[in-house]
Amino acid sequence: MQRTLRLLAIVAGLCVTTQAFAKKYPARPVKIMVGFSAGGPVDVVARIVADRLSNKLGQAFVVENRAGANGMIAAEGVAHAEGDGYTMLACNSSTITLNKTLFKDIRYDPEKDFAPLTTVVSAPLVLVVNPDNPKTANINTVADLVAAAKAAPGALAYGSGGNGNLAHLAMELLSQKAGVKMIHVPYRGGAASEVGILAQEVLAVFDPLSAVPLVKAGKLRALAVSSAERLPALPDVPTVAEAGYPGFDISFWVGFFMPKATPAPTLEMLHREIVAAAADPMLKERLETQGVVSVLSPAEYAAKIAKETKELAEVVAAANIKAE
């Protein structure tokens, strides 16, 4: 009986401690680590969310840029930080789902070291060709592109923002599903690959959302979008899945994580506040400049990461892709 009472007292004490922690959090500024330079999509999303959290929670949420190694420097810093709720990671999908597969010297484990909070934006890629290029003038659909690749095995060149880039993997996945072989031309960034297709150096590119104005202006022709759902900005453009390749779903997303040991009440509160920020009409309009606003529960987020990590690892292995 006495042992039972002692156990109950311990449990009650832990509950009181947890509640007290949750009530006073945050008691000091919170650092949001961003593994990319200022002005990029991850940085922009992080700063929009940081301003909202600062205003709502009464403490500064300070963005700190530690660019380099495809986000690995910042991710490693957060992975090894104390789980006290005062260090957060804002990163893109590659930092979590691709780096572990591509890099041998990675010093964090995305599954074991992080507690996922939610995605905030998701940006599909747009498969485009240049209508002014004589070689692609008659390519209007994914089926047309696949037929052209089958007619000239290993001759059709496509561009991406770099070896192991998400656009690279998207085209490799399409090639594997369609049973075709194309030539990869890596550029130094997505903007450079866009210039490459406009200059007719390559025949196709999975472009980021920066391609939308060029599509609407007739400079590029959109064949499909890489996400599971159509892009609101291009409602008449089918998804790759709709074009004949079920299950195809690749998007560049930006989301938030905490160290794994962060207390559950803190994780729940931060998730709730970030989701509320994404739902705020004024903030949503700003976030939509970076993609489609998309939030998930922590469990949904973890499942998404596991699925994407497995799929992309299979693409990397099948195509024998090596990090630059």
111-127 tens-digit pLDDT: 999 999 999 999 999 99
Confidence class of residue 210 from pLDDT cuts 50, 70 and 90? confident
Asked if pLDDT for residue 70 goes beyond 90, the answer is: no
When pLDDT is averaged across residues 11-20 and rounded to a whole number, the result is: 45
pLDDT at 324: 64
pLDDT at 23: 60
When pLDDT is averaged across residues 160-177 and rounded to a whole number, the result is: 93
31 vs 209, residue with greater confidence: 31
CA distance 74 to 313: 22
pLDDT, tens digit (0-9, with 9 covering 90-100), for 134-158: 999 999 999 999 999 999 998 999 9
pLDDT at 18: 43
pLDDT, tens digit (0-9, with 9 covering 90-100), for 242-292: 999 999 999 999 999 999 999 999 999 999 999 999 999 999 999 998 999
Supply the pTM of this predicted model: 0.84
φ and ψ at residue 110, rounded to 5 degrees: -55, -35
Asked if pLDDT for residue 8 goes beyond 80, the answer is: no
Residues 289/44, Cβ–Cβ less than 8 Å: yes
pLDDT at 10: 45
Angle at 143 between CA 293 and CA 134, to 5 degrees: 100
What percentage of the chain reaches a pLDDT higher than 90? 81
Residues 71/95, Cβ–Cβ less than 8 Å: yes
pLDDT, tens digit (0-9, with 9 covering 90-100), for 212-241: 999 999 999 999 999 999 999 999 999 999
pLDDT at 178: 96
CA distance 100 to 76: 12
Strand partners, 76: none
